[in-house]
Structure 1
Amino acid sequence: MAEMSITLGDARLPNPIMTASGCAANGKELHRFFDVSLLGAFVTKSVMADARSGRGTPRMAETPSGMLNSIGLQGPGIQAFVEHDLAWLKSVGARALVSIAGGSSTEFADVAARLRASPAFDAVVGVEVNISCPNVANRGLVFAIDPLASAKVVALVREQLPRDMPVFAKLSPDVTDIVTIASACVKAGASGLTMINTLLGMVIDTERMRPQLGGLTGGLSGPGIRPVVVRAIWQVRAAMAEGRFATVPIIGVGGVRTGRDALELVAAGASAVQVGTAVFNDPTAPVRVLRELEQLLDDKGYAAFTEAVGAAHHH
């Protein structure tokens, strides 16, 4: 079978498949279905400095081939996270890619510093910076739509972490030119990019003639967004190949249900793939996608997963 291990920064992972942030809580729930240490990395739910109750209900709405969620970054805060969730992930041998969030660039840095100081930090293989949350200081605009705001967050987080700790900026697709944002993040010190976060959407309940979600708008995820993911990864990978900014690994995420879906993201330029929404109706989806991807690579004659990364760009 094809060799599946990958290197992300200084972290060696047994395979390129991960969960997507927010789709499997912080591991315990999914661990009932399969051993989470089998994944290349387990991506945690975005954690902020303090505990948050999140948005009003209802928080989810189904859409054709996808769903909207409007959770509002509910969570226990960084202190409870490192004491309970991260410690638990370490205890079962999982590799954690910790997603951090903040309402200001200094909050991101504070969360990163507290993560670094935690006893279970050696279970962390990277930090995913969720810049798709609103910047409280700037009229609630999302950091990820502004190259300068994105770069500032990445630079401040980078300062708080060891030099060899990979930092992945998670990009929003709700921008005119995702390459500009990707470039700003890499130049500010991001070791890689996670692409993409959900697309902003809305559902109206035509019985009540009112928006279905308590928070009005929500993030669209699921198979319906996969072509957007493939396009975004392709554009950024092509810009790297042209030398517009340094070539760094891309973690692809969005609408992956099967090994074939994962391979599409990989061919576009993803060095690793996250499985998210699929987990809601098939909790074993990440390990199944891994098996299917491995078989597909083998069938196509690839000796190693890394040989397939960006293959669609090579004429």
Structure 2
Amino acid sequence: MNNNKRSLDASFSVLRRKAEKKLEADRQNQPDRTPSYHEMKHVIHELEVYKIELEMQQEDLIQSRIETEEDLKRYIELYDFAPLGYFTLSRNGTIKEVNLAGSKILGIERSLLTGDRFGRFIRDEDLPVFNELLERVFSKRDPWFCEVMLLNESCSEHMPKGSLTEKQRDEGSKTIRIEAVLSNDGEECRIVLSDITAQKQLEERVGGVQAEKSESVKGEHHACAEEFDHQLLDKVIHSRIRLAAISYLNVVSRSGFVEIRDKINATDGNLSIHMKLLEAAGYIHCDKEFLERKPQTIYSITQKGRAAFNRYTGIVSELINCRNLDF
């Protein structure tokens, strides 16, 4: 803070010398006239007040500048030491700014990255994906993202690019996720880089285990698929609203129309139609009662309805068990 104040004092000293020179030049251009005592007293008063005002303004300016510099310092620290890589790219993908995390992901010193093309660090197979991202962000002004693999610099430095096998290029390469957004002036693209190599490797391992498990139960899966017959499903129950209604009645045995409607989130007209279908099949029974002198429609599940519901859920459970053989 002391350094900032000394710098400001030096700036104000230069400004004062310029003001004194201008004042001297103005005096030479004005006619020589001796002011009266009252005029001098008034001028001195105004100058003293003006001096105090300037001093107060100077203090405010100094404080504002110090606060601005502290905010800028905090912003630079947040930018440089962020856990994700931050890049600013031009329209052709030239790197204009990069933070420390970004240079670490690419494995290149930050000072060497400025002015270089970001696409130079991406595998040839993934370069069209990155170019499409830039085109979309700059032309449509839409935020977008992509996932690409970086070149394996350790291999490419010692071997001709065409002589590298796909396995050699992939070994040690990083997979990154790029999230891009256009700057306010539309001339630059801000991108955020995150290293998702470990995540992708875990997904590949899990996928391999699942593939092996799937192969081991492939025969059982086909057997279940061959045995499944959709004709076995009860068409009366096999509807969202009718299934929800009879499921609820299977639990509570007896309930009013309004309560069922609210529980399964249906409309009055829609529920009324489906309840009539269940009643016509003999799965539920309808009674009319009065509660506090108001007519109430009460539904209860029948033995036939409970048996049909249990048979339906049993068939669905067998189908689910066959599906779980894939996992």
**TM-score, normalised to structure 2's length?**
0.19
Q: Kindly name which structure, 1 or 2, has the bigger radius of gyration based on alpha carbons.
A: 2
Normalized per residue, which structure has more strand?
Answer: 1
**TM-score, normalised to structure 1's length?**
0.19
Normalized per residue, which structure has more helix?
Answer: 2
